[in-house]
Amino acid sequence: MIGFGLPNGRPLLTHRKLPEAAMGPPYFYYENVALAPRGVWDTISRFLYDIEPEFVDSKFFCAAARKRGYIHNLPIHNRFPLLPLPPRTIFEAFPMTKKWWPSWDTRTHLNCLQTCTASAKLTERIRSALADSDDPPSHNTRQFVINECRKWNLVWVGLHKVAPLEPDEIEMLLGFPRNHTRGGGSSRTERYKSLGNSFQVDTVAYHLSVLKDMFPNGITMLSLFSGIGGAEVALHRLGIHLKAVVSVEISEVNRNIVRSWWEQTNQTGTLIDIADVQQLNGDKLEQLIHTFGGFDLVVGGSPCNNLSGSNRVSRDGLEGKHSALFYDYFRILDLVKNIMGKES
């Protein structure tokens, strides 16, 4: 789970040969959960021009794990990390917790950040179990507490007291600016949901950093399943001007967040919102390509609802209702490549 290399480390590959059909323009970048059902990544790779996935865990970039697979046709050399480097461990990210952290909780990184959070009833159960236990607690009590802390990413905030992460803290771990998901007036519950489904910005920015020298005058991007704009934030933090972004996102809450960020960061380019990827047919794409002169980058991470290991009810792979939207990513990317190929 370290991809083709990490910041300040030797690349694991010195060369990779892309199939001719995969070569840009445009460049493309696709993301989804790494630990998908058997055969899913083989299928994704087959549709995306037989490119080998790059699997990366964001624990090498921040204090929280996020195991993801990426298929892209970007160069893999001369990447560079975002600065300043983010906190890499729990204590670096949350130094105030060290005072209360028990020696038997050996976590150094948080698990993957989720779309929901632990209940007050659970944190009270943990407090009561520890208050009623010996010091140190019994093996069974420790096991119960550690399992729940790992599952829900609970941190120590007092004697016998754990608490879930606040949305602002999750934003920091994921590389977003403070209050990013407050944009558009989203509720606390909506903020957790939006963040749990987002990119980890530092990881994505490391991959996209190769574009900075390639597009010194800025970039035009088609952003599919945009979420809260992780790719847009990554490019902005890399200092790459966003000349135009066509953002396709079904959630009105997320569209409002991206629009709010766009305005707050004084972007001078053009932002176009589209609600549904299925609205993007050949005619619409031809119109957009004619308007902007083509896309430099097509980026997206289709829904993982039916792929995620935490989903034990409808883990139906790419045939699931939500995760089947991957095929729309491929459909749109292939249309863009064909239309741009005709116009070049």
CB within 8 A of 287, min separation 6: which ones?
none
d(C-alpha 71, C-alpha 32), whole Å: 9
The closest alpha carbon to 193, from 115, 114, 252, belongs to: 115
d(C-alpha 188, C-alpha 42), whole Å: 37
Output the CA–CA distances (angstroms, integers) from residue 166 to 37, 48, 155, 197, 204, in the order listed: 31, 37, 11, 16, 23
Residues in the chain: 344
One-letter identity of residue 60: F
- Measured in degrees and rounded to the nearest 5, phi and psi for residue 338 equal -65, -45
Q: Are strands 27-33 and 67-72 parallel, antiparallel or unpaired?
A: antiparallel
Q: State whether the Cα torsion 100-103-105-111 is positive or negative.
A: positive
The closest alpha carbon to 65, from 22, 112, 100, belongs to: 112
Q: Is 304 a catalytic residue?
A: yes
Count CB neighbours of 41 within 10 A.
20
Is residue 96 helix, strand or coil?
A: helix
CB within 8 A of 342, min separation 6: which ones?
none
251: tokens are: 């959630």
Using an 8 Å Cβ cutoff, are 36 and 322 in contact? no
Active-site pick, 62, 112, 149, 304: 304
Using an 8 Å Cβ cutoff, are 200 and 187 in contact? no
Residues with active-site annotation: 304
